[in-house]
Structure 1
Amino acid sequence: MATAERFDAIVIGGGPAGYTGAIRLAQLGQRTLCVEKEDLGGVCLNWGCIPSKALIDTAHMNHKLKDLEAVGLVGMGAPRVEVAKLQAWKNSIVKKLVSGVGSLLKSNGASTVFGTARITGPNSVSVALREGGEKQYEAKAIVIATGSSTIGLPSLPFDGRTIVGAREAVSLDAIPKRLLVLGGGVIGLELGSMYQNFGAQVTVVEALPQLLTGVDKDCVAVAQRSLAKRGMTILVNHKAMGHERTKTGIAVKVVDDKGVASTIEVDVVLVAIGMAPNSKGLGLETVGITPDAKGFIATNEVGRTNVPSIYAVGDVSGAPLLAHKAFKEAVVTAEVIAGHRSAKDWKTIPAAVFTDPEIAYAGLTEEEAVRKGREVKVGRMPFAASGRAMAMRETEGFVKTVMDKSTHEILGVHIVGPRASDMISEAALGIEMGAFAEDIALTIHPHPTLGEAMMISSEHALGQATDILNR
């Protein structure tokens, strides 16, 4: 057997958690190897976060351009979507960023190998190389950063063309006239609203009573009304039970919670019922690591598994399955491996849903705060009262601040409306710093901006707002 090449750390996976961890390890003087099975950047960069947002922003622009006469831009006509050009542009962004990740790894001194890794011991990894052959590696630490993959339905198997997952949905060569989305979670609603803005007739089927389970109900209600107003059909408490091919498309049978069945005929079905961790085939049983029932690998506050030399970060280590959570976990683990003090000690992980309108949130919802025994007071600033939102013609939604009634500590902030994803970072910073509503209310925000809605929402919670009526 060939002699194993020695490293300080081996990172399995080149997605957000993997490449971030490998770069940070190398920066800290660790001889590091990053093993990637497919393409650097993982789901997020290749067919998730980045390409979907490129398409979503373009679709939002397409929707707004259809009503230019309302603001005096007459005679421009509705835009025509050239899908081939759209896809080429999206792919150019992906290519540039993937190349950038490779350059960052190399420039920081981390090595990269492409192939399928398997853990063969607490300090050893075997890699079946993409170009053929196999190589052995050893390291004092192994980091599992293998991410997650889309979940399919046995009754609607993926064919890559008419029954697709999120991966294929960002690369369709035509805008479907009729799209059925199975799953009213983040992925389903983001891609569904995107195709709706491109002109598709969209139907969303969700098995649970509410879209976006776990998200603030008031925010969800605004987004749901907006999507329905634009023509989206939304069926909650419904499940898909099978399909058949027809001369004009795919007929999908759906059943509601009372057992009433109906058939929906469409051109494309997007199965968006969630993501599952990529923990199979890694050789975990060899070292005594047993994932939970859902496939997630348990870790402690520094990302270490029950095997001291093996760590897990990102999606494979558990919810929330968010790239920015993966980034931070990877940095913590890298610093610990390099001998530094670090831990996962954050108070909140903000999240954004890139529907139209957007939703973003940090901290507790009203319901969560009450369940934890807190007496709360809520402040709101509706975008309908924002001069900046009016000027943008995007007045749906609000900023909602949840504070402790007695101490005024900010417990959570929930936003639905324009650029919610860009605004939520202020809330996350406030919660991390233990801010009170007064801290936000007394901070001068520039006018006229969307961001000042954060200030006014805090003022409203305190009963001090001058831009809207206090309760």
Structure 2
Amino acid sequence: MANQTANQYDLIVIGGGPGGYVAAIRASQLGMKVGVVEREHMAGICSNWGCIPTKALLRSAEIYSHMGHAKDYGLKATEFDFEISDVVKRSRQIAARMNNGVSFLMKKNKIDIIWGEAKLKKGGEVEVGPSSKTAMEPAVPAPKGVLPHGTYKAKHIIVATGARPRILPGIEPDGKNIWTYFEALVPDEMPKSLLVMGSGAIGIEFASFYASMGAEVTVVELLPQIMPVEDKEISAHARKRFEKRGIKILTEAKVAKVENGKGGVTAHIELKDGRKEKIEAEKLISAVGVQANVENIGLDEVGVKTEKGFIVTDGFCKTNVDGVYAIGDVAGPPMLAHKAEHEGVLCVEKIAGMDVHPMDDNKIPGCTYCEPQVASVGLTEEQAKKTGREIRVGRFPFVGNGKAIALGEPDGLVKTVFDAKSGELLGAHMVGAEVTELIQGFVVAMNLETTEEELMHTIFPHPTLSEMMKESVLDAYDRALNI
């Protein structure tokens, strides 16, 4: 299938993030000649400015928090502190390691890297020029061993350009007092106070990190609950835990105006009941979502359809233009790296003529790595009720699990939602220690169309946190054993 003509490929992927590089690797495995156009950093936002470095920061915060509670574990840790520069340094080193790892995978799979900014042209052409300055970083020099600017051709082109922080008018980040997640990842010093706008995964993770490191944190959310995509019961549990940690939370609240001064910001908040409140903080993190990178990449020139700021695709990532596809954040929510990776593989396999299934958004897990962690898949209880089905709901608290108690993590909840007639698992929702590692069990179960009976007959190891998964299933059918 490979084409030996210079500058001509079977597949060109625009964007080297988690969706793009995975698509490229799968295409290479299937015998295609592949090129990846990247303008800033291999491995994309996820590994450089998102998923991975934030988890590194949160791990430091977790350990620091445990050190403060050493006495609870029969230990003594009377003197401990941190230098934020060292915490940030560790995070950036891990990001660099991931970046280098993806570059190695490109070389291993004989994938060409074309360094620069891509623009779609008619006739299956991609014009690559110099990288412009972006909202992320100044343009960076091309690494060694990459192909030069020029025009490249491909039978198939996958757009995987990702997304960037959404900016609200009047609250534009200045890199000093008003931050996006880029600045929040690399603070020069630890702020004493912080205001977080938005309580999605990004906002809550940063709120959790900075609170653990000693900052006075306030979260402002426009909607009635924090983490709006999560089950209401799980969200309420998490909110109580956050507030117990000292995080102030305002829901159904709007940041109407922000005054940016030398010493920090003053935010004017409008509450649902008409009250107004002023909050002063050294820093403000704007975490009100992201917007797709659809500008200046030639979509209009070749006629690719967009809607509400995202590229429109079918179930196999194909756009309305033959030979052009889109995956990941640029193709719409959920804005998750694992969703992008899955789309990359199914898109390439469809191109190769393989028998693949379209993406089922209902089976994409979501994870938030705050303290406590939150993880979910499928329908919430409220969503399941709206389908008109008769449902059964099971719950099991961490306090009924021996491993959770031994870990010193007795607060949490596992919740399952079933179709009462068929036994189909409609959704699973968790809050507590390590639930981001547990949720995959329910994801596998849903993909295998497992019923409650099969889950009940599954033997879970003891003592583990995973036993709560089975107990929540048992509880849905009034058969819980340990509570």
TM-score normalised according to structure 2 size: 0.93
How many Å separate the matches in 2 of 1:159 and 1:323?
27
Cα distance in 2 between the residues matched to 1:79 and 1:308: 60
After superposition, residues 20-419 of structure 1 pair within 5 angstroms as 20-74=22-76, 76-77=77-78, 79-130=80-131, 134-246=149-261, 248-293=263-308, 295-346=309-360, 348-419=363-434
8 Å CA contact 1:59, 1:197 repeated in 2 = yes
Q: Contact 1:144–1:313 at 8 Å: present in 2 too?
A: yes
Question: May I ask how many residue pairs the two structures share in their alignment?
Answer: 464
Deviation of 1:376 (Å): 0.7
Which residue identity is paired with 1:91?
Answer: R
Q: Indicate if the aligned counterparts of 2:343 and 2:359 stay in contact, CA closer than 8 A.
A: no
Q: How far has the Cα of 1:342 moved from its partner?
A: 2.1
Q: What is the CA-CA distance between 1:360 and the residue it aligns to?
A: 0.5
Cα deviation per residue 1:66-86 (whole Å; 9 max; x = unaligned)? 121122213x12531111111
2:134: which partner in 1?
A: none
Partners of 2:149 and 2:57 lie apart in 1 by 39
Gap change, CA 1:301 and 1:251, over 3 Å in 2: same
Is the deviation greater in 305-314 or in 437-446? 437-446
Deviation for aligned residue 1:240: 1.2
Q: 1:246 to 1:317 in 2, by over 3 A?
A: closer
Shift of 1:90: 1.1
Give the Cα separation in 1 of the matches to 2:232 and 2:153: 49
How far 1:4 sits from its partner (Å)? 7.6
Per-residue Cα deviation, 1:370-401 (whole angstroms, up to 9, x for no partner): 11121111111100111111111111111111
Structure 2 SS opposite 1:308 = coil
- Distance in 1, matches of 2:393 and 2:54, equals 33
How far apart are 1:215 and its partner, in Å? Answer: 0.7
Q: What is the alpha-carbon distance in structure 2 between the residues aligned to residue 43 and residue 248 of structure 1? A: 30
Native 8 Å contact 1:4 1:136 kept in 2: no
Moved more, 359-368 or 77-86: 77-86
Q: Is the 8 A contact 1:208 1:237 kept in 2?
A: yes
Q: Which segment drifts farther, 94-103 or 336-345? A: 336-345
Letter in 1 for 2:301: T
Whole-angstrom CA distance in 2 between matches of 1:281 and 1:338: 29
- With 361-370 and 307-316 compared, the bigger mean Cα shift is at 361-370
The 1:292/1:343 distance shift into structure 2, 3 A limit, reads: same
Query: Within 1, Cα distance between the matches of 2:354 and 2:418?
Result: 35
Where does residue 6 of structure 1 map in the other structure?
Answer: 8
| SS in structure 2 of the partner of residue 377 of structure 1 | strand
Residue 113 of structure 1 aligns to a residue whose secondary structure is strand
Tell me the SS of whatever aligns to 2:187.
coil
What is the Cα deviation at residue 340 of structure 1? Answer: 2.2
- Alpha-carbon distance between aligned partners in 2 of 1:420 and 1:18, rounded to the nearest angstrom: 28
Secondary structure of the residue aligned to 1:44 is helix
Give the Cα–Cα distance (whole angstroms) in 1 for the partners of residues 327 and 260 of structure 2.
Answer: 42
The one-letter amino acid paired with 2:379 is L
Q: 2:378, 2:428 within 8 Å by CA — same for their partners in 1?
A: yes
Which of 451, 456, 463 matches 1:436?
A: 451
Structure 1 residues 373, 96: closer, same or farther in 2, change over 3 A? Answer: same
Other-structure match for 2:135: none
Deviation at 1:209, TM superposition (A): 1.3
Note if contact 1:279-1:316 (Cα within 8 Å) is conserved in structure 2.
Answer: yes
Deviations 1:161-198 (A, max 9, x none): 21100111111122211000011111101110111011
Q: How far has the Cα of 1:337 moved from its partner?
A: 2.0
CA contact (8 A) 2:305 2:320 kept: no
Which whole-Å deviations, capped at 9, do the CAs of 1:401-425 have from their partners, x for residues lacking one?
Answer: 1111122221111111110100000
Secondary structure at the aligned position of 1:84 is classed as: helix
Which whole-Å CA distance do the structure 2 matches of 1:49 and 1:148 have between them?
14
| Distance (whole Å) between structure 1 residues aligned to residue 24 and residue 384 of structure 2 | 37
Q: Identity over the aligned pairs, expressed in percent?
A: 39
Match of 2:310, SS state, is coil
TM-aligned CA deviation for residue 289 of structure 1: 1.3
Whole-angstrom CA distance in 2 between matches of 1:263 and 1:200? 18
How far apart, in 2, do the equivalents of 1:244 and 1:335 lie?
51
SS of equivalent to 2:384: helix
The structure-2 alpha-carbon separation of the partners of 1:336 and 1:246, relative to structure 1 and needing over 3 Å to count, comes to: closer
Stretch deviating more after TM superposition (349-358 or 401-410):
401-410
2:329 partner letter: D
Amino acid at match of 1:63: S
Q: Which moved more, 1:38-47 or 1:79-88?
A: 79-88
Question: What secondary structure, in the 3-state scheme, does the structure 2 residue paired with 1:454 have?
Answer: helix
Secondary structure of 1:51 counterpart: helix
1:86 match: secondary structure: helix
Runs of 4+ in structure 1 displaced over 3 angstroms?
129-134, 245-248
Amino acid in structure 2 at the alignment position of 1:77: T
- The answer on whether the counterparts of 2:17 and 2:46 sit within 8 Å (CA) in structure 1 is yes
Cα distance, 1:180–1:322 mapped onto 2, change above 3 Å: same
Contact preservation (8 Å) 2:115, 2:149: no
Q: CA deviation at 1:272?
A: 0.3
The answer to whether the 8 A contact 1:222-1:396 is kept is no
Question: SS where residue 228 of structure 2 aligns?
Answer: coil
- Letter of the aligned partner of 1:414 in structure 2? H
CA RMSD of aligned residues (A): 1.6
